[in-house]
Amino acid sequence: MSAVLIGLHLERLGLSAGGIGLILTIALLSAAVTGLAAANLSSRIGRRYTLALAGILMAVTGADLAVASSPVLIGIAAITGMLGTASIDLGAYASVEQASLAESAEPRPRNLAFARYSLTGGLATAAGAALAATATDLPRGRLLFGGYALVGAVTATLALLLSARAEGPVSSASLSAAQVRVLAPLSALFAVDAVGGGLVANAVIAYWLHVRFGASAAALGSTFTAIALLQSASYEVSGRLANRIGLIRTMVFTHVPSNVLRLRRPARRTSWSRRLYRAGSRIGAGRRTTDLRRRHPGGRPGSPLLPGGRPETGLRRNAVPRLPQPARRTRNRRVTSRVPSGRRPPSIRS
């Protein structure tokens, strides 16, 4: 919800495009920092308390955005790292939850466990995007961020109710040389991938669609709902695929088609996403036109009641019903008979 709505919400508060980009950058950096901090903190106070603190930060962020009007308060919401501008695999929740899941799941079904974990997050993201479609103005946006704060408070409470099995064994935070040799290339690979992923973060893409194509909150919400549902299905497939061909091959074989499509997007003047958006816009316009025609049977595409026509044309044609031609001639003769012949237009002089 937050990723879809944050750009439009900041614009409604009066921030410029540069200011919105700065807020989103701070939010992404803060999410990365809080992810590291949460991993270290969980080894000190436990995972349950760390997740509870993350929920409290989420509640503070939502409450801040629900009432904030100044850039300073908005910046505070971004610094918490809980603005949710990216996706489900970044921030304090991910670092703690994934570590707990890796330890609690058996080795054989672990791939499917992570797939179901991502599937659940994807479905929740779809639900949030669907709610974001209702934020058609600033008051409704504030109301949704108030709901975001409520979700954070509930999350903090649920974290405290987790069983002791969620806690991992306390061990040294230092890494052995063998662990470093495994983690270093993986971290480098993920870092390179994250650089590209930062350019297509959900909040950035949502705001770009709004600026480039004029997408409304309703259009963005429905679009990202469909995207989240497709992603959720891909998580389930990837878990089963990883059991057959391995983790590395699954990452490579699924990333290559996606990146090829991204490379083709700027090369084409009209991308598939643009075509789909235009098709959706036409469908929406058709629904509006149909509804207005039901209410105003005499309306035409040029009517001032309908988008896309010249107002003066609509006024001439549709402001009053047109009379039959004999009646119009009689009316014109009566009107022009009262006007002196020297002042009549050439077309109606006798």
Give residue 86's pLDDT: 64
Give residue 48's pLDDT: 92
Indicate the SS3 state at residue 21.
helix
Give residue 166's pLDDT: 80
Give residue 257's pLDDT: 77
Give residue 8's pLDDT: 92
**Token pair in block for residue 8:** 């439009």
The long-range contacts involving 251-258, CB below 8 angstroms and separated by at least 24 positions, are 255/193
Give residue 225's pLDDT: 93
Q: How far apart are CA 258 and CA 14, in angstroms?
A: 35
Determine contact, residues 186/248, Cβ cutoff 8 Å.
Answer: no
User: Taking the alpha carbons of 304, 307, 312, 315 in that order, is the dihedral positive or negative?
Assistant: negative
**Token pair in block for residue 282:** 């036409």
Give residue 323's pLDDT: 58
Give residue 306's pLDDT: 38
> Which among 288, 240, 275, 201 has a CA at the least distance from the CA of 119?
240
- For 156-165, the pLDDT digits (tens) are 999 999 888 8
Query: Which CATH number fits the domain 2-165+207-267, given the four candidates 3.20.20.480, 1.20.1250.20, 3.90.950.10, 2.40.50.420?
Result: 1.20.1250.20
- Give Rg (Cα) of the chain: 29
Give residue 172's pLDDT: 55
Which stretches of the chain drop beneath a pLDDT of 50?
271-272, 275-320, 348-350
> Which among 154, 166, 186 has a CA at the least distance from the CA of 54?
154
> Which among 7, 10, 159, 154 has a CA at the least distance from the CA of 97?
159
Determine contact, residues 125/234, Cβ cutoff 8 Å.
Answer: no
Give residue 319's pLDDT: 43
DSSP 310: -
Return the domain boundaries, the chain.
Answer: 2-165+207-267
Query: Which DSSP string corresponds to 49-102?
Result: HHHHHHHHHHHHHHHHHHH--SHHHHHHHHHTS-S--S-TTSSHHHHHHHHHHH
